[in-house]
A and B are shown apart, each in its own frame.
Chain A
Amino acid sequence: MDTSSLLRIQNLHAGYGDVPVLWDIFLKVDRRKIIGLLGGNGAGKTTLLNVISGIISPMKGRVHFLEEDITFSNPTRRVQMGITQIPEGRLLFYGLTVKQNLRLGAFTRKDKASLEKGLDAIFQLFPRLAERKDQLAGTLSGGEQQMCAIGRGLMSRPKLLLIDELSWGLAPLVVDHIMVALKKVYEEMELSMILVEQDVQLGLEFSHRAYVLETGRIVKEGRSEDIIKDPDIRKSYLGI
């Protein structure tokens, strides 16, 4: 049971309006695995995450989560089932406090009683947030905002966490800190992740398996340690 697949995407085509952005995507996420989704700008990584989150409905193809067909389920249902996205650019609720932001992360959770416990766990993970829990999210620094976004995502107790551009606009040092915390999250909570990254090296170091997207198609997939050794990848993405 533990090794059965969590998310299965078959033959997916999707896009905005009439314009397709993704073609023929097959993707599988197993339990307790970190998947890297890599590729250049405009490759369709964010679109794919949005399809998984239910913000965009696909033109063709099927999406299964926990063996249930969720192709046309709405975002709310998906969050309830355990798919949570930490969006690119954080998208915090800047006019609300850190604590309110975190609480909203648990919006779909029915067991409100254990909510405080969840909050404590987040504050333990990111002590910086605990210090600033009553501050407005807009006044946090970039790194703290990213922590808050991750915390907010974790509050829904996801089974699958989608993280879009974790390193976006962050100093290298801060990226390191957050990566450490994320590793801890992965180890402590039983979840899978899809990690979308521009920084291919970072993405590959951190994931078990990886998919490489180019202009809307998957051009390479495999174990991360294999991909990182792939000469094509090294040449076009790592600049080595």
Chain B
Amino acid sequence: MLILEGHGLTKNFGGLTAVHKVDFEIQEGEIFGLIGPNGAGKTTLLNLINGIFPITQGEMFFLGQRLNGLKPHQITRLGIGRAFQIVRAFEGMTVKENVLVGSLFGTKKRKDIGTGMKETEKILDFVGLGPKKDYMIPEITIADRKRLELARALVMDPKLLLLDEVMAGLNTREVEDLMEMIFKVNRQGVTILVIEHVMKAVMGISHRIMVLHYGRKIALGSPKEIAENEEVIKCYLGERFVRKEAERKGHSRAK
């Protein structure tokens, strides 16, 4: 079943076209990757999905409901959660309070603070932030902030989770932890749309990948197809990546 579909999505900023006639469909339950060079319009596309920017042209549907013209908070309550690229935690609040906001306002159900708190603690334990729940935001590390972003999105009980470069700035071990966690969320039935520069991660977790270049879709397919797609290599991946990838594969084969 289709969970999210976009038809001919276009976004103009003044004279600049950030996203140009992009079509895509995301199946329920899949992990859908979105890659492309900087300024390709990936984050803009995400902003169109959750309504931060109004759509200039085209249509978008979530589980059959038209999203055009809805405000971000309405879209969130339909079941689309989002973790931001640059961590946008509320700085003057504790870790717990940050997640609590999502729990209180992010779902259709109206909850009292006690219930919200319980859910919050559950989610914090899930992402491994339980011991740090009373820390203020400036006191936790970047990796923890990424986890916090994830927790804030998860607590809203989303059907579709948008992850915007949550891996950026993490080391290999942390990336692997986070990949594991994303798989776990996905197994619980949450569809995930992920934007990522860390190729290893995006190649490793996505079922399908879409490549954007200057606002246009240039490829869509399985990770393997993408990695071999010549246009993608020309515009995005580059020779060294292919070489390195080959070396890595050769190495693991040898092992």
Are chains A and B native binding partners rather than an unrelated pairing?
yes
A96 at the interface (CB under 8 A from B): no
A168: chain B residues within 8 A (beta carbon): 168-169
Chain B proximity of A36: nearest CB distance (Å): 15
Do A240 and B238 have beta carbons less than 8 Å apart? no
B37 at the interface (CB under 8 A from A): yes
Do B142 and A171 have beta carbons less than 8 Å apart? no
B171: chain A residues within 8 A (beta carbon): 39-41, 198, 237
Do B169 and A172 have beta carbons less than 8 Å apart? no
Do B169 and A198 have beta carbons less than 8 Å apart? yes
Do A41 and B169 have beta carbons less than 8 Å apart? yes
Do B38 and A171 have beta carbons less than 8 Å apart? yes
A236 and B175 alpha carbons, distance in the complex (Å):
11
State the majority secondary structure of interface residues on A. Answer: loop
Chain B proximity of A138: nearest CB distance (Å): 11
A121: chain B residues within 8 A (beta carbon): none
B239: chain A residues within 8 A (beta carbon): 176
Contact with A along B165-181 (1 / 0, CB 8 A): 10011111110100000
Those of A7-42 within 8 Å (CB) of chain B: 39-42
Chain B proximity of A227: nearest CB distance (Å): 15
Those of B221-239 within 8 Å (CB) of chain A: 235-239
| A41-B143 in contact given A142-B39, A173-B236, A237-B172 (Cβ < 8 Å) | yes
Do B237 and A141 have beta carbons less than 8 Å apart? no
A170 and B237 alpha carbons, distance in the complex (Å):
10
Do B237 and A172 have beta carbons less than 8 Å apart? yes
A118 and B204 alpha carbons, distance in the complex (Å):
45
**In this complex, what residue of A is CB-closest to B38?**
A142
Q: Quick check: which of B23-31, B76-84, B91-99, B244-252 contacts chain A, the rest being far away?
A: B244-252
Chain B proximity of A91: nearest CB distance (Å): 14
A173 and B165 alpha carbons, distance in the complex (Å):
18
Cross-interface CB contact of A141 among B37, B142, B169, B176, cutoff 8 Å: B37
Do B252 and A240 have beta carbons less than 8 Å apart? yes
Cross-interface CB contact of B197 among A39, A141, A169, cutoff 8 Å: A169
B240 at the interface (CB under 8 A from A): yes
Contact with B along A222-240 (1 / 0, CB 8 A): 0000000000000011111
A39: chain B residues within 8 A (beta carbon): 171
Contact with A along B2-34 (1 / 0, CB 8 A): 000000000000000000000000000000000
**In this complex, what residue of B is CB-closest to A43?**
B171
A175 and B173 alpha carbons, distance in the complex (Å):
22
Chain B proximity of A44: nearest CB distance (Å): 11
A74 at the interface (CB under 8 A from B): no
Summed over the interface, the residue pairs from A and B with CB atoms below 8 Å come to a total of: 75
Do A172 and B199 have beta carbons less than 8 Å apart? yes
Do A173 and B238 have beta carbons less than 8 Å apart? yes
B108: chain A residues within 8 A (beta carbon): none
B188 at the interface (CB under 8 A from A): no
**In this complex, what residue of A is CB-closest to B138?**
A16
A239: chain B residues within 8 A (beta carbon): 172, 176, 200
Do A141 and B39 have beta carbons less than 8 Å apart? yes
Chain A proximity of B106: nearest CB distance (Å): 28
Chain A proximity of B213: nearest CB distance (Å): 10
B248: chain A residues within 8 A (beta carbon): 240
**In this complex, what residue of A is CB-closest to B237?**
A172
**In this complex, what residue of B is CB-closest to A39?**
B171
A41 and B200 alpha carbons, distance in the complex (Å):
17
A143 at the interface (CB under 8 A from B): yes
A143: chain B residues within 8 A (beta carbon): 37-38
A175 and B243 alpha carbons, distance in the complex (Å):
14
A172 and B37 alpha carbons, distance in the complex (Å):
9
Do A176 and B172 have beta carbons less than 8 Å apart? no
Chain A proximity of B27: nearest CB distance (Å): 27
Do A169 and B200 have beta carbons less than 8 Å apart? no
Do B173 and A40 have beta carbons less than 8 Å apart? yes
A198: chain B residues within 8 A (beta carbon): 169, 171
Chain B proximity of A147: nearest CB distance (Å): 13
Do A172 and B236 have beta carbons less than 8 Å apart? yes
5 contacts between A and B (CB under 8 A): A40-B172, A142-B37, A170-B37, A171-B38, A237-B171
By a beta-carbon cutoff of 8 Å, the part of chain A in contact with chain B is 39-42, 141-143, 168-176, 198, 200-201, 236-240
| The 4 A-B residue pairs with the shortest CB-CB distance in the complex, in nearest-first order | A142-B38, A40-B171, A173-B238, A172-B241
